[in-house]
Amino acid sequence: MTWALLAILGGFVLLVWSADRFVEGAAATARHAGMPSLLIGMVIVGFGTSAPEMVVSAMAALDGNPDLALGNALGSNIVNTGLILGVTALVAPIAVHSKIVRRELPLLFAIGLLSGALFWNGSLDRPEALLLLVGFFGLVGWTIFTARRGRGDSLETETEQELSAHPMTLGKAIFWLVAGLVLLVASSRILVWGAVSIAQALDVSDLIIGLTIVALGTSLPELAASVMAARKGEHDIAIGNVVGSNMFNLLAVVGIAGLIAPMPVLSPDVMTRDWPVMLALTVVLFVMAYGFRGEGRINRIEGTLLLIVFAAYNTWLVTTVVAA
């Protein structure tokens, strides 16, 4: 038990640090290659912050723990929307200027509905997982197309400022790209071992561990990125990181895990508790941030509401564990 706890804590620290190094190295390498800043922000930084979720879920699936992988993906989306945006809005109300981010919000809702349709029969087989991955590659193509046509968007300005603030030589960028990826895989392996050991010791399902401890840990890069962006006044990066990460989690993270280890029997709680909460938070985010009569905005009161929903959901999870 002690070693498992140390593995989780050490895995989290190394995971967050290596993910940050990996994303910075990838972004700097792309910049040296001449990639437009908006494309770097939307594809590499936006999706790169979800690298921990992807690697952890892949490791969990390889180890025969698909429930942990699914819980990590759904739980990370709940953490991203409820906790991270809630905390970020309390630090600084989030004004959504970017038309690109606003277009991504209904797309995120549609992806949420798609995931629910695939989970509805109580399983996730390889063809369904492959469909999610096809959707992910379609999303990447759409993102590249949008980024190339979105010159002048406020998200481009914020991304350019952020990239210019962290210059890196090409050699250093490639080193951190490779080293960050290696450490990301190693820390994910450590974290999964610790999480599974804790679940077995406490007689708690892998799904619950994935929804709570693992989801919170793998979402720490998004928390740091969004809070720091909000403090700098880079509001579109703050919310764009979360929206991009949530789409990545549902399509790529679940898709890869399902392709590695199909889930013939999903826990009934997925469709009666976890997916509905995730979708409800997605709807609330859409209503708050889209801005039907102008620019969207998440103020401190709305941020507090998101935190209350997140706290209520986790109380529900704890009650479920105690009752069991």
**Which residue ranges form the domains of the chain, and what is each CATH number?**
50-153+202-323 (1.20.1420.30)
The reported pTM is 0.89
**Residue 253 has what pLDDT?**
93
155 has pLDDT over 70: yes
Give residue 133's pLDDT band: very low, low, confident or very high (50, 70, 90): very high
- The Cα 36–Cα 153 span in angstroms is 13
**Is the model more confident about 296 or about 209?**
209
Q: Can you give the pLDDT at residue 303? A: 95
Mean pLDDT across the chain, nearest whole number? 87
Count the Cβ atoms, other than its own, within 10 Å of residue 89: 27
For the chain, how big is the Rg over CA atoms in Å? 19
Query: Distances in Å between the alpha carbon of 296 and those of 93, 99, 156?
Result: 11, 10, 18
Query: What's the pLDDT at 281?
Result: 96
Pairwise pLDDT comparison (151 vs 32), residue with the higher score: 32
Confidence at residue 188, expressed as pLDDT on a 0 to 100 scale: 85
More confident residue, 235 or 324: 235
Q: Which amino acid is at 104?
A: E
d(CA 125, CA 59): 18
Q: Is the pLDDT of residue 322 over 90?
A: no
- Of 170 and 281, which is predicted with more confidence? 281
Specify the pLDDT at position 9.
87
Report pLDDT for 296.
Answer: 81
- When mean pLDDT is compared over 85-94, 186-195, 221-230, the highest value belongs to 85-94
Specify whether the CB–CB gap between 108 and 100 falls below 8 A.
Answer: no
245 to 137, 201, 216: CA distances (angstroms)? 14, 31, 14
User: Which DSSP string do the residues of 59-80 spell out, in sequence order?
Assistant: HHHHTT-HHHHHHHHHHHHHII
Task: Identify which of 70-79, 200-209, 285-294 has the greatest average pLDDT.
Answer: 70-79
Angle at 85 between CA 280 and CA 90, to 5 degrees: 125
Map tokens 């403090």 to a residue: 231
